[in-house]
Each structure stands twice: as structure tokens, then as C-alpha cells.
Amino acid sequence: MQQQLEQTYQQALADLEHIQSSDALREWELKILGQKGAITLMLRGIGQLAKEERAAFGKRANEVRDLLATAYESRAELVQEHELARSLEEGQIDVTLPGRAHPTGGLHPSTQTFRELYRIWGDMGFQVFRSRDVETDEMNFTLLNIPEHHPARDMWDTFYTTTPGMILRTHTSPGQIRAMRELGAEGTQPIRVILPGMCYRYEQITARSEMQFHQLEGLAIGRNIRMSDLKGTVTEFARRFYGANAKVRFRASYFPFTEPSMEIDVECFLCGGQGCRVCKYAGWLEIAGAGMVHPTVLRNGGYDPTQWSGFAFGMGPERMTMLKHGIQDIRYFWSNDLRFLEQF
């Protein structure tokens, strides 16, 4: 047993020298010094020895236990130091690594176009007037000189609500009536407004038409406002939006709420009028519908058409954005695909 004690002692010391982790250290402690450890068991088995051997063995065994306990303590200190050093090293911040960027949001391409339009029209003296998306049939059609059952209603495929007489506006033009009534002070004040907003049409969705899209309406009411004012204003707008060399042309057209009515084209800024795929080889791009406000519409807004006149126009920000960036499909605008949106 004496010999076994010395052997265990040497072996335990040797093992301890190789221990690198606190887990292994704990295991060693259990095996050697724990309740059922080798040394503890030997001390307990002392009674099996001959009486005269007991004192000497006991003394040595206690000595060995204390020596091992001391060796254990100093090893434990060493292992802890190493582990701390290692974890500090591993957890160290490498300041030379590139940082992780925060994902940032961006403005929707239509919002960007709208903001540019607000800036330009604002500089030209037009204020923003917001009108409602859910409209009455009367505002959207009747008061704009499109009576019930009139064939001109065919121009707008309409979303009806379950409330009779309530629809989703098919264009921003009903805002003209609201602006005249709210800002005109019973037909006594001139007004210059732009009316931005979403419009809705019950249409087949294709690359060229969506069932929802924005419009920017414009309306100027005053005394002696003439066709030349409309032409000059729109030409100036085109120069500010498309560049100083922008050319515009006016084509006769028809809208129930204007007389005369026209469509406005700008010379294709991609090919300079030479003809290309975007302008479909016409050399011109259609950017707006416009005209002189119809006397009936003026009257419905509270103005006396013998004293007051005005012009109006309606343009499509999505269409303008598509032309500007060569976007081929209007469906990208509301499909929430970040790969599209992040490009702007």
C-alpha cells in the first residue's frame, strides 16, 4: 500500500503537469482528492494495515494529500491565467476590419419625382392642395362636366364602393372642384395649386397600365388667364424639369372638363427628336393632358365664367419616372421588390 501511495502520487503529479483546461482540472481533483478519490480512499483504508504500519502510512498519506492539494492550487492558477489570456485574445476587436454598415431606407422613385415636381411648381407659385382618394361620383364625374350615362365616362374604368355614389377617384381632377370651393372664397380669389395623389382604375394590369398610379393635377384660376399662359407655364416647367433645351408641342385633344383641350408632348430627351424605341420613333413623348377650364366646371367651383378663366393640366409621375430612367414596366412601382427600389 505504501508503494501504491507513492505511485499514485507520482502519477497524479505527472498528470497535473499536462492539464490545460479547468474542465480537466476538475476531473483530476475528483479522481485524486475528491470524496471517492484515490488518496481519500487510501486514507480510509488505513485500518486494513498492520497496526505498526498505520502511523507512518497515515502521516505520509496526509503529506501526499497536502502536497497534491498545493500542486493542484498552483496548476489551477496557471490554467486560469491561460484561459483568461486566450479568451481575451479571441475576443479582441480587430479595428482593421471594415465596419458593418447599417441598412438605410430610401425614398420611393415616385416620391422622389413628386418632390422634384413640388419644388419646381412651388418655385413657379403653385401650392400643394391635397384632395381625397375616396370620392363621390358627383365630384369625380358630374361636376367635371361628365353627366351620368354620358359616353365620356367610358374614358375611366371605375372602382365602385358598396356605398352608393362613393367611388375611388379615377383621376385627380375632382380636386379642382374642391380647391375652387375651399380656396376661391365664393369665386372671388385667384388660385394656383397642384394636386398630387393616387388614382385608381379598374383596368387590366400590364406593363403599361396599373390599377393604381399617381397623378399631378395643376389648376390656375384668375382674371384674363389665357391659352398663352398655359403654354408659357408648361414650357417653363418642361425647361426646369427636362433641361433648358426642352422643346414642347401642343396637340388638340378632348377632355370634358376643358375647352379647348390639348395633349402636351416634350421632344424625346433620349434621342433628341431623332426617333428611338422609348418615343416609339415619334421623336416626341406625351407628358400631360391640359386645357382651359370649361365654363361649366368654373361655375361648379363657384366662379362666374364671364369674369374668371383658368387652365388645368394632369401629368403622370410614374410615366415621367419611367421615361427618365428607362423603366420598361410600370408594375415594378407597387410590387415592393427591393432590387428595383434600391436602384433609386
How far apart CA 1 and CA 280 sit, in angstroms, is 106
- Please state the closest distance from residue 215 (CB atom) to ligand DAH, in A: 6
Contacting residue, 37, 184, 197, 291, with ligand DAH by CB under 6 A: 291
**Shorter beta-carbon distance to ligand DAH: residue 303 or 313:** 313
- Please state the closest distance from residue 186 (CB atom) to ligand DAH, in A: 22
Q: Select from 74-82, 158-166, 294-302, 309-317 the region that touches ligand DAH (CB under 6 A).
A: 309-317
**Shorter beta-carbon distance to ligand DAH: residue 37 or 174:** 174
How far apart CA 321 and CA 280 sit, in angstroms, is 17
Q: Select from 5-13, 157-165, 234-242, 286-294 the region that touches ligand DAH (CB under 6 A).
A: 286-294
How far apart CA 238 and CA 229 sit, in angstroms, is 14
**Shorter beta-carbon distance to ligand DAH: residue 39 or 262:** 262
* Residues 155-194: x where in contact with ligand DAH by CB under 6 A, - otherwise, as a string: ----------------x-x---------------------
Give yes or no for a contact between 196 and 117, defined as CB atoms under 8 angstroms apart. Answer: yes
Please give the single-letter amino acid code of residue 146: I
- Please state the closest distance from residue 293 (CB atom) to ligand DAH, in A: 8
**Shorter beta-carbon distance to ligand DAH: residue 12 or 230:** 230
Angstrom CA distances, 330 to 206, 321, 333, 334, stand at 8, 10, 6, 8
- Please state the closest distance from residue 297 (CB atom) to ligand DAH, in A: 9
In DSSP notation, 252-307 reads EE--TTEEEEEEEEEE-TTTTTS--TTTTTSSEEEEEEEEEEPHHHHHHTT--TTT
How far apart CA 129 and CA 122 sit, in angstroms, is 12
| SS3 assignment, position 269 | coil
How far apart CA 266 and CA 287 sit, in angstroms, is 7
- Please state the closest distance from residue 201 (CB atom) to ligand DAH, in A: 9
Give yes or no for a contact between 62 and 43, defined as CB atoms under 8 angstroms apart. Answer: yes
In DSSP notation, 206-243 reads -SS--SEEEEEEEEEEESS--HHHHHHHHHHHHHHHH-
Please give the single-letter amino acid code of residue 240: R
How far apart CA 256 and CA 159 sit, in angstroms, is 20
Contacting residue, 12, 32, 79, 312, with ligand DAH by CB under 6 A: 312
- Please state the closest distance from residue 171 (CB atom) to ligand DAH, in A: 3
- Please state the closest distance from residue 106 (CB atom) to ligand DAH, in A: 29
Q: Among residues 174, 340, 157, 163, which one has the least CA distance to residue 257? A: 174
**Shorter beta-carbon distance to ligand DAH: residue 180 or 290:** 290
**Shorter beta-carbon distance to ligand DAH: residue 109 or 289:** 289
Scanning residues 193 to 232, which ones bind ligand DAH (CB under 6 A)? 217
Contacting residue, 174, 310, 314, 317, with ligand DAH by CB under 6 A: 314
- Please state the closest distance from residue 209 (CB atom) to ligand DAH, in A: 12
- Count the residues of the shown chain that bind ligand DAH, applying the rule CB under 6 A: 11
Give yes or no for a contact between 175 and 198, defined as CB atoms under 8 angstroms apart. Answer: no
Site for ligand DAH, rule CB under 6 A:
171, 173, 217, 255, 258, 289-291, 312-314
